[in-house]
């Protein structure tokens, strides 16, 4: 009954969905592309058997990198279908299409409407469906069950805030979680929270992002930037969210650090122009990465308005503030920064990645600041105290390496599902 009510409301909301698509399409034209896919209408599917992995946006797509590599290596006769919900996720996923020619295809996941879900599954006929991190679509999961397609949640995480929301929707969420063939959680706390809202016997596998190896070409790019920029101190604000840039610019303008360069990389590309205007309104001398020129000695802010270059920004910087944590957005993941050997600062709001943040702070790979005033003090201290900064850099690398292995643990849990599915498919073909 809960899923029926959810479906009726979802259908009723479609005019609002269209308005939202059109509105977002004004700033990001990609939202107007491939609209048919969102309702289950696609180009011809590959002839090879398909493994399906859903990564909603940029962070999930990047985190999936080691799992994608493992799936393709273990199943050389299969094609991987990579689905997303956002244009930025799709753009990020193009690197896998280019890296594995003919082995990876992309599409938008359809809206969670029964007809669209059935069309999607009937078109691609995947052997398995894998949802990254927190994605739960009740109608799609139900349709997969009816079609005999095992579905699993991998790299699963659930914050305390999301747990409370799921508990309020228990009649809808619990059956969906109970229908999953496997739940693989990042931490014991995530597993406990997922179990409390319906997951059956979740496993703890660790965070796949620890297994992501920074692209050597991007690291080299960042080191080259640094060499050309020169020996001035560089502070990075990575994956910032709306409202945070203004606080960061105010802090940067007041820092008594000679020749300081601030790099700002907003989380959402549609905000690049807005953030540039914020900096200029404060009288800060700004250059944009998209302009093709590196910062000169007069540049105070370098806007990282590019895609897929975060590792380069980390490699070029002396330390990084992880965005989404100054204001209550829950924070972005600090693991990539640590893997690049960049000392990390986080704000008070890290509930989306609580365990990773707490573990990094515990070993001094990261430090927590409570507000903008403390941010100014800590940035000043670290940029003027190289021995502390070098110590954090070494501990960041050690922290990243100590938590690897999630991919192997996840694959060990997935292989029995794939073997069982292969056997069922073979038996059906014989009959």
Burial 116-146 (b: 16+ CB within 10 A, else e): bbbbbbebbebbbbbbbbbbbbbbbbbbbbe
pLDDT 10s digits, 46-92: 999 999 999 999 889 999 999 999 999 999 999 999 999 999 999 99
CB atoms within 10 A of CB 182: 22
Mean pLDDT of 265-274: 94
Q: Which CATH number fits domain 25-206+405-421: 3.30.420.10, 2.40.160.20, 3.30.565.10, 3.40.50.11720?
A: 3.40.50.11720
Mean pLDDT of 135-162: 95
The SS3 of residue 417 is helix
Catalytic residue (choose from 30, 37, 60, 245) = 60
What percent of the chain is predicted at pLDDT more than 90?
Answer: 87
Per the DSSP assignment, residues forming a β-bridge with 84 are 108
CA distance 321 to 288: 19
Backbone φ/ψ region at 331: left (φ over 0), alpha (ψ -120 to 50), beta:
left
CB atoms within 10 A of CB 421: 19
Instruction: Give the pLDDT of residue 425.
Output: 60
Instruction: Give the pLDDT of residue 427.
Output: 45
Element (H, E) at 106: strand 104-108
The overall average pLDDT reported for the chain is 94
Place of tokens 């979802």: 10
User: Which pLDDT band holds residue 423 (cuts at 50, 70, 90)?
Assistant: low
User: Which pLDDT band holds residue 26 (cuts at 50, 70, 90)?
Assistant: confident
Whether 60 sits among the annotated catalytic residues: the reply is: yes
> Is it the case that residue 384 has pLDDT exceeding 90?
yes
User: Which pLDDT band holds residue 340 (cuts at 50, 70, 90)?
Assistant: very high
Q: Where in the chain is the domain with CATH 3.40.50.2000?
A: 216-402
Instruction: Give the pLDDT of residue 431.
Output: 45
Q: Which CATH superfamily is domain 216-402 in?
A: Glycogen Phosphorylase B; (3.40.50.2000)
Mean pLDDT of 292-314: 94
> Is it the case that residue 145 has pLDDT exceeding 80?
yes
pTM for the whole structure? 0.86
> Is it the case that residue 98 has pLDDT exceeding 90?
yes
User: Which pLDDT band holds residue 430 (cuts at 50, 70, 90)?
Assistant: very low
The SS3 of residue 132 is strand
Instruction: Give the pLDDT of residue 123.
Output: 98
Decide: 110 and 38 in contact? Cβ < 8 Å. yes
Q: Which of 425, 379, 406 is nearest to 125 (CA)?
A: 425
C-alpha distance from residue 129 to each of 64, 136, 154, 246, 405 (Å): 14, 12, 10, 41, 22
The SS3 of residue 233 is coil
pLDDT 10s digits, 182-204: 999 999 999 999 999 999 999 99
pLDDT 10s digits, 354-364: 889 999 999 99
Rg (CA), the chain: 22
Q: Where in the chain is the domain with CATH 3.40.50.11720?
A: 25-206+405-421
Q: How many residues are present in the chain?
A: 431
């Amino acid at each position: 009954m809960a899923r029926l009510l959810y479906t009726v409301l979802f259908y009723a909301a479609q005019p609002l969905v269209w308005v939202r698509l059109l509105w977002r399409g004004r700033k990001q034209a990609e939202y107007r592309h491939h609209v048919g896919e969102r309702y289950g209408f696609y180009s011809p599917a590959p002839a090879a058997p398909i493994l399906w992995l859903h990564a909603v946006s940029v962070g999930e797509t990047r985190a999936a990198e080691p799992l994608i590599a493992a799936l393709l290596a273990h199943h050389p006769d299969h094609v991987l279908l990579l689905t997303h919900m956002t244009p930025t996720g799709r753009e990020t996923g193009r690197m896998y299409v280019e890296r594995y020619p003919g082995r990876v295809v992309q599409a938008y996941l359809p809206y969670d409407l029964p007809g669209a879900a059935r069309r999607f599954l009937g078109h691609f006929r995947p052997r398995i469906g894998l949802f990254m991190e927190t994605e739960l679509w009740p109608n799609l999961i139900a349709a997969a069950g009816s079609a005999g397609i095992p579905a699993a949640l991998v790299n699963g995480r659930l914050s305390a805030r999301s747990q409370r929301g799921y508990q309020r929707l228990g009649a809808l969420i619990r059956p969906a979680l109970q229908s999953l063939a496997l739940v693989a959680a990042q931490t014991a706390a995530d597993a406990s929270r997922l179990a409390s809202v319906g997951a059956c016997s979740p496993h703890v596998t660790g965070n796949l992002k620890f297994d992501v190896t920074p692209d050597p070409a991007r690291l080299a790019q960042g080191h080259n930037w640094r060499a050309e920029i020169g020996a001035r101190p560089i502070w990075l604000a990575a994956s910032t969210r709306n409202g945070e840039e203004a606080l960061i610019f105010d802090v940067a303008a007041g820092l008594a650090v000679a020749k300081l360069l601030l790099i700002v990389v907003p989380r959402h590309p549609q905000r690049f122009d807005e953030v540039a205007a914020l900096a200029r309104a404060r009288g800060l001398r700004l250059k944009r990465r998209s302009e093709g020129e590196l910062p000169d000695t007069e540049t105070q802010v370098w806007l990282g308005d590019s895609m897929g270059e975060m590792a380069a920004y980390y490699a070029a910087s002396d330390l990084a503030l992880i965005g989404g944590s100054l204001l209550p957005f829950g924070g972005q993941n600090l693991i990539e920064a640590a893997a690049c050997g960049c000392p990390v600062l986080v704000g008070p709001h890290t509930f989306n990645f609580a365990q990773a943040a707490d573990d990094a702070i515990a070993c001094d790979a990261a430090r927590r600041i409570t507000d903008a005033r403390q941010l100014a003090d800590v940035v000043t201290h670290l940029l003027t105290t190289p021995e502390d900064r070098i110590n954090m850099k070494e501990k960041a690398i050690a922290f990243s390496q100590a938590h690897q292995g999630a991919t192997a643990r996840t694959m060990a849990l997935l292989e029995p599902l794939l073997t069982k599915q292969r056997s069922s498919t073979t038996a059906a073909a014989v009959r």
